[in-house]
Structure 1
C-alpha cells in the first residue's frame, strides 16, 4: 500500500506534464490562424480593400486543405536530436516567427501580391505545424485521455485565437500600427517554440516512422507538386480557350477560374501519385480507406463544421465594415466576454465528453454551432445598438481582465458570446472524433487528411461568401450559413453508432 502511494504521484506528474503540453501546443496551433485570417482581414479592411477581394484572399488558407499531401513526409522523416515529431514542431514555430517578421515589413496597399505570397508561406508553415501537433497529440495521449485532451486543445487554440484575432485589434487601434502587432506575434511564436523545446516529453519507443525508400518519397512529393501546378495551368488555359477572361470584372467569372483551377490541381496531382511512387502517401491513404465506413466519416468531417466556417469566413469585415464597430470595440469584446465564453465552452464541452456518448456530444454541440450563427444574423437584422449597451464591470481572472467598467454593445456581446461558447464545445467533440479515427503508424497523414477536409468549408467558401454577401447582403449570408450546416448534422445522426465505436477501437494503422 505504501509503495503504491509513493508511486502514484510519479504516475500523476507525467500525465499533468502531457496535458499541459497539449494545452501549450493547442495555443501554438491557434496562434497563426487569425494572422492569415481575421486579423489580416482587419488590416486589409483598414487599408481599404473591397469585400470581394477580401473574400478571394481567404484562399490564402488553401495550405490548410492541402496539408495531407505533404503530411506523409512528416510521417516518414524525423529530424535529428529531438526525436519523433518534436523536432518538426520546434522548427515550424521558429520558422513561423521569421515569416511573421517578414510579413510585418510589407505594405499590403502598395504591394498586395508580395504581401499575399508571404501570407501563403505563413499559412503553409502553420498548416505543417498543425499536422505535426495533431499527430504528436494523437500518439502521446491514451484513449481515455482524448476527450480531456481535445478539450484542452480547444481551450489553448481558442485562447490563441482570441489573442491573435481579438486583442491584436485593440493593439492595432492603440498603436496605430498593424506591422508592430505582427512583430509582437512573431516574438510570441519564438517564445512558444522555446517552451515547446523544453517541455515536450518524448513519444514512446513504439512510435516509429514507416519504412520506405527515402528517395522515392522525395521524388513522389516533387511529382505531386508538379502535377498540382500542371493541373492549375491546364484549367486556366482551357477556360481562356472557351472565352472566359481571368481578369474579368465579373466576380462570378473570377470565382469559376478559382474553383476550376483548384479542382483540376487536386485531380491531376493525386493522379500523378499513382504513376510515381509516393509510398507513404499511398500506404496511409490505403490504411485509412481500408477502414470500415471511411468514406462516410470523410463526408461527416467535411460537412460538420462547414456552416460554422461559412459564417466566420467574413465575420471580421462584417463587424468592421458592415456594422461599423471600431477595431478596439470588436477586439475588447473578444478579449473579455468572448474569451470567458471560450473557456466556459471548452470546460463544459470536456465535462460532457467525459459523461456522454461521443455521438450525442457531436450532434448536440453541432446543433449549438448552427444556432450560434443566428446571433450574427440577428445583429445584421437589428443593427448596432438595438439592444442598447451593457456595462461590463471591471474584473481580473489573471488570464483575462478588464481594468475599468466599460460599456459595450449588448447585441455584439451576445453574438460573440454564443459563437465562442458553441465553437469551444463543438470543436472539443470534433477533435476527439478525429483522434479516434487515426491509426498510429500514419497518425500525421490520417489526422491531416481528416482535418484538411474539415477546412474545405473555411477555405473554399471564402470567395463564394464574399460574392454572396456583396450581392445579397449580410442577413441572407448568415441564413445561408445555417442551411449549409444542416447536412453535417444529418450525417452525424446517421453515423452515430460508428462514431461511438471510435472511442472503443483504436486502429493499428
Structure 2
C-alpha cells in the first residue's frame, strides 16, 4: 500500500514536468515561436533549482498532506488560466508558466520528503524504481497523450483536462496516511543545510550532482522542436510518447530500481549512467540520417528507457545522503542542484541548435554527460550505507 501511494504521488509530480518540457514547446512551436524563444523558456525552470530556499518552510510548517494538496490545487488554477491564454510568449503567459513551475517545485518538495519518511533505506532502490516509473508515466501523459489529444480536442480542452486531474489529486491528498517521523519545528532554520554541507567530501558530491544529468537536461528542450521541424504531426509525436514511450519508461525505471539494489548505488551510477549518456547519440544518429521514421522512433524509445535507468540510481544516491528528519530541505537542495546546469544549458539550447544544427547540438549534449564520470572514483566515500 505504501508503494501505491508513492506511485500515485509520483505520477502527479511528473505531469507538470511533461507540460513544461513537451507540451508547451510543441504548442509554442506550432504557433510560430522560434527555437531561441523555446530554449529561453528553460530559465523559467528556476524554481526547480531554487526550491531548497523554501523547503525549510515545508519541513517546519503544516503537514506533508496539506502542502501537497495546496500545491495541486494551485496547479489546477494555473492550468485553467493557461487554457484561456494565447500562446504568444507574452509576459502574462510566461508568468503563468513560472507559476506552474513554482507550484510544481513545492509539490515535489513535499512528495520527496514524504517518500523518504515513508520508506526504509533498504527499500529505496525498488521504491525509486516505482517512483521513476510513475513520474515518467505522468510526464508521458502530459507530454504525449495530451499532446496527441490536442489534434481532435484543441489546446484549450487538453489544458482543462489537466486542471481537472489536479483537482482530483488535491482531493485525494486528504487521504494520504501520515508518517511516524517526528520533525523539530524549533530547530535553527539553516541546520539541515549546515549538517549536509559540513560533511567530508561533500564538495565532490555537489559537483557530481551538478553534472550527472547535464547531458540529459540539455537534450530535452530541443527534442520536441526537432520532431516538429522534421515534419511530424502532433498525433505522431503523442503516439510515440504514449505507446512506445510508456513501455520503455516502465521497463527502464523498474530495471533501474532493481539494478540499483543488486549492484549497489555506486556501481549502478557507473553502469546505468553510462547507458544514459550513450542514449543521446541516438538522436544525433536520427538527425544525421534525415530524421527517418525508424531512427526517430528508435531514438524516442531509447531515450525513455535509459532516462528511467539512470534516474533510479541517481535518486537513490540523493536519498542516501539525506537525514530523514531533514528530508524536505536536504533532498530539495540536492535535487535542485542538478537542475542548475540544466537550466543554463537549456537556456542556450535553442540558439545553439539554430547555429550548429540539430545533429551537432545532440552530439554536444553527449559530451556534456562525460565529466560526471571523472568524479565517480572520488565519490565512493560520500555514498552513504551502500
TM-score (norm 2): 0.97
- Per the TM alignment, residue 143 of structure 1 is displaced from its structure 2 partner at its CA by 0.7
The match for 2:16 is 32
The match for 1:418 is 302
**Would you say the 8 A contact 1:54–1:466 is kept in 2?**
yes
1:121-140 correspondence to structure 2 within 5 Å: 121-140=99-118
The match for 1:503 is 385
**Would you say the 8 A contact 2:201–2:381 is kept in 1?**
no
**Would you say the 8 A contact 1:101–1:186 is kept in 2?**
yes
The match for 1:203 is 179
The match for 2:265 is 358
Give a deviation string over 1:370-427, Cα, whole Å, max 9, x none: 1110110011100133xxxxxxxxxxxxxxxxxxxxxxx2112110111011001111
What SS does the aligned partner of 1:442 have? helix
CA distance in 1, matches of 2:372, 2:151: 38
2:371 maps to which of 487, 491, 496: 487
CA distance in 1, matches of 2:201, 2:113: 22
The match for 1:157 is 135
CA distance in 2, matches of 1:112, 1:37: 18
The match for 2:53 is 69
2:3 maps to which of 19, 40, 44: 19
**Would you say the 8 A contact 2:126–2:254 is kept in 1?**
no
Give a deviation string over 1:200-259, Cα, whole Å, max 9, x none: 21010x4213315xxxxxxxxxxxxxxxxxxxxxxxxxxxxxxxxxxxxxxxxxxxxxxx
The match for 2:242 is 335
**Would you say the 8 A contact 2:202–2:382 is kept in 1?**
no
Higher-RCO chain (CA-CA 8 Å, sequence separation at least 6):
2
1:259-338 correspondence to structure 2 within 5 Å: 279-280=188-189, 282-321=190-229, 323-338=230-245
What SS does the aligned partner of 2:324 have? coil
1:39-58 correspondence to structure 2 within 5 Å: 39-58=23-42
Q: 1:165 to 1:493 in 2, by over 3 A?
A: farther
Gaps of 5+ in 2: none
Pairwise CA RMSD: 1.3
1:93 maps to which of 64, 68, 72: 72
The match for 1:174 is 152
- Per the TM alignment, residue 497 of structure 1 is displaced from its structure 2 partner at its CA by 4.4
**Would you say the 8 A contact 1:359–1:497 is kept in 2?**
no
The match for 1:223 is none
Answering whether residue 286 of structure 2 is matched by residue 375 of structure 1, we say no
CA distance in 2, matches of 1:55, 1:66: 19
Gaps of 5+ in 1: 1-16, 79-83, 213-278, 386-408, 505-509
Give a deviation string over 1:441-478, Cα, whole Å, max 9, x none: 22111000000011123322122111111111111101
What SS does the aligned partner of 2:304 have? helix
**Would you say the 8 A contact 2:3–2:127 is kept in 1?**
yes
What SS does the aligned partner of 1:68 have? helix
Q: 1:332 to 1:440 in 2, by over 3 A?
A: same
Give a deviation string over 1:239-284, Cα, whole Å, max 9, x none: xxxxxxxxxxxxxxxxxxxxxxxxxxxxxxxxxxxxxxxx41x222
Q: 1:493 to 1:319 in 2, by over 3 A?
A: farther
**Would you say the 8 A contact 1:24–1:156 is kept in 2?**
yes
Q: Is 347-356 or 300-309 further displaced after alignment?
A: 347-356
In terms of fraction of residues, the more helix-rich structure is: 2
CA distance in 2, matches of 1:25, 1:503: 26
Give a deviation string over 1:110-162, Cα, whole Å, max 9, x none: x6110110111111000011111111111111111111111111011000111
**Would you say the 8 A contact 1:56–1:466 is kept in 2?**
yes
CA distance in 1, matches of 2:84, 2:369: 39
What SS does the aligned partner of 1:355 have? helix
Q: Is the radius of gyration larger for structure 1 or structure 2?
A: 1
**Would you say the 8 A contact 1:162–1:334 is kept in 2?**
yes
Answering whether residue 93 of structure 2 is matched by residue 115 of structure 1, we say yes
The match for 2:330 is 446
